Each structure stands twice: as structure tokens, then as C-alpha cells.
Amino acid sequence: MIDEDIAGVEFIGINTDKQALQFCKASTAMQIGEKLTKGLGAGAKPEIGEKAAEESQEELAQALKGADMVFVTAGMGGGTGTGAAPVIARIAKDMGILTVGVVTKPFRFEAKTRMSNALNGIEKLKAAVDTLIVIPNDKLLEIVDRRTTMPDALKKADEVLQQAVQGITDLINVPGLINLDFADVQTVMVDKGIAHIGIGHAKGDDKALEAVKQAVSSPLLETTIEGASHVIINISGDISLIEANDAASYVQELAGDDANIIFGAMYDENAQDEATITVIATGLDSHGVNTPVAKAMTEFKTPFKAKTTGNTYAQPAAQTAAAAQPTYKAPTFRAPSAAAPAQPVAPKEAPQSAPAQPFRPMRQETQINIPDFLRNKK
């Protein structure tokens, strides 16, 4: 994502592992916990990552100074990301910076300890950020084929982060016909918990409706916008009033009548019958069962290489807004309808077999003529 050169965004790579930072593309690379780890990794121990971030909290605060918004990104389950991300997020939020977490959960085939560490880290991060987006790595298995290489597959997870940052920065920096600004983003994202963010693109007669459907059903997220408390929908492109109404009505129907929906529109006559729609929905974790931990109990280790602070690479994004909270819907359980009482059934008698007939040899009597010369003569 660093290669995309998103305007107004600064990238900071953070790690305890000095050697790993040599491969970081971020403009700023920061080693934390130098005294504690001596330049080595955290050994898959979140407590080491946490202490390392606490050791370097002054340097972290200095690096985040001046940012309007920070994206803390990490692969959860290991040591540095799991332990340091909540500390970094807390530092940013204490500085009055809109703070968004974008993290991954491990594959199910990874060790149970790693998943347990990830879930604990996610809960701590959720308490430290304004909004949180969780990407389950298992979702990658649903969108790639057998020939997709591991690096290419993991880049798909980075796309969610890129969508979040690009969507929010465009929303803030690009003036619109119905304009949205950073204050609108703050309204939707400050202290809102789990979030969903998506961007859809479409062409043709139903472009607005198709684009909004893509935006609300990101294949890499566990969340939808159903039950969201706050929603931003921003439409750009060559769209008509009717098309804008169709898209906004679709979002309203999914989110519910009580959702606070903020609408923005940017008309672009050069889009040539195209539409791009960004949807940010927050307040999705009003039910405890919808949290990432509860989801994992019923059914992250990909480091993001850009965009705010956290795991292997954490980078603060300047001039942006906090991410929305992913919603987790509580499963609905229906009580089984009362069944009619069972009627007693008389046992069936075993079929009576016919009495056995006495054995009779199957022999036919025959008349044997003995020649006279063989007969005994008296």
C-alpha cells in the first residue's frame, strides 16, 4: 500500500526486530524495546511486545505528533503486533487523535495458542481504539484459487486496509456536491467500536445499486452493516439523483431506521457511466456475541506493511478518520415448536408360521419284476 502513494498519509514501520525493519518500505522505521529485546523479536510473546512499546512510548508519541488520524495495523497472534498495538493505539488516542485499528486474525490451521493470543490482543486493542476492523485470514481461502501464491493471497488482506485509508482520505480531501469533511468522519467513528468499511465500483444502468452491494458485503470481512448505529455513504461518479436514492435506500434498509446515516455525493461527468461508493458503518458490536472473540469461539498473523502503528509494521495516517466497527450479528435461536405427544403403539405380533409338516421321504413305490430263474424255488 505504501507504493500507492496516498496523499496526506505518512507511514511508520514499528518492530522490536531490528533486522526485519531493514525490509520495511515505510519512510520512518522505528525500533521499540531496544533495551528489552536487544534488537531481536518478541518471541511470539505478546507481553514482550507490550513491554517493548511501553519502553519506547515517548518516541512513539513524538512520531505520532501532528496526526489527525492514526491507523494501527498489525497481524494479531504473534508477539510484537499483539502486544504493542494496543499500547500504540492508547498513546494515539490519549493525544486526541482519531484512532482506527485494522488487524488480521490467524488462520484456523495455526496453533491454538496463536489464536488465543490474537483474540486477547483484539479485545485489548478494541478498548484502546475508536473503531476496529478485523480481517480473518481464513476469508482469504474463500477468494483465492489453488494457483494463487502465498504473497499474492496475503496482499488481498492489505487491500482492506488500503480501502479504509483511501476511502476516508478521499472523503475528507476531495470536495463534493454534497460535501463530507473530517467532522463527519469523527461523528461516525469516535468511540464506535467494531466497524465495517467497503468500496464498490460498477458500470451500467444499475451501477449505483451494484456498487453499494459490493461495498456492504466485503468478502474479507466478517461484518455487514446490519444494525449499525452510524453510517457514512459517499457516492462519486456519473450518477443520477434516482441512482443515488437507490443506493442510499439500500443502505438504510440494511442498517435500520435508527441508524444515523450521513450522505455525501461527488458528481464526476468524466466517470463515463461509472459509480464508486464508499460505505463506513460503525457501532456494530452492540451485542457481545458479535465481537471478534465470540465469533471465533463459534466457528492473525499477516503483518500489514503500511498504514499506522501496530504489529510488524505500524504507521500513523495523517489527515484521516477512524475506522468503523465491524458488526457481529448474534445468531438467532428459535425454540422448537411443541410436538404432539407420542401415541402408544401396540406391539405387533410376530407372524405365525404354519406348523411344520412331518418329514416324508420323497420315494415312489415301484413294481419290480424278478425273473423266474432268480427266484428261489421250493
pLDDT of residue 372: 53
Q: Cα–Cα distance between 126 and 366 in angstroms, integer?
A: 106
Domain boundaries, the chain: 2-194+285-298
**DSSP count for the chain of H helices, then E strands:** 12, 9
SS3 for 100? strand
Amino acid letter, 308: T
Amino acid letter, 148: T
Local confidence band at 369 (pLDDT 50, 70, 90 cut-offs): low
SS3 for 259? coil
Predicted confidence (pLDDT) per residue in 281-311, tens digit? 999 975 443 455 445 444 433 333 333 454 4
Q: Beta-carbon neighbour count of residue 145 at 10 Å? A: 6
pLDDT of residue 169: 86
Task: Please give the biggest Cα pair distance in the chain.
Answer: 147
Contact 107, 138 (CB under 8 A): yes
pLDDT of residue 231: 96
Region 97-112 average pLDDT: 93
Left, alpha or beta for 245 (phi > 0: left; psi -120 to 50: alpha)? Answer: alpha
User: Please, is 371 exposed, middle or buried when counting C-beta atoms within 10 Å of its C-beta (0-12, 13-18, 19+)?
Assistant: exposed
Q: Quick one: which of 236, 259, 201 has its CA closest to 249?
A: 259
When the pLDDT of each residue in the chain is averaged and rounded to a whole number, the result is: 80
The C-alpha cell 478485523 sits at 134
Contact 305, 313 (CB under 8 A): yes
Q: Cα–Cα distance between 378 and 371 in angstroms, integer?
A: 16
pLDDT for residue 262 is more than 70: yes
The C-alpha cell 492489505 sits at 158
pLDDT of residue 115: 96
- Class (C level, CATH) for 2-194+285-298: alpha beta
Q: Cα–Cα distance between 230 and 310 in angstroms, integer?
A: 26
Contact 99, 61 (CB under 8 A): no
Local confidence band at 129 (pLDDT 50, 70, 90 cut-offs): very high
List the strands of the sheet with 274-282, edge to edge: 69-75, 98-105, 131-136, 193-203, 274-282, 230-237, 260-267
β-sheet bridge partners, residue 101: 72, 132
pLDDT over 70 percentage in the chain: 75
β-sheet bridge partners, residue 230: 260, 282
Q: Cα–Cα distance between 285 and 291 in angstroms, integer?
A: 6
Predicted confidence (pLDDT) per residue in 310-349, tens digit? 443 333 333 333 333 333 333 333 333 334 444 444 444 4
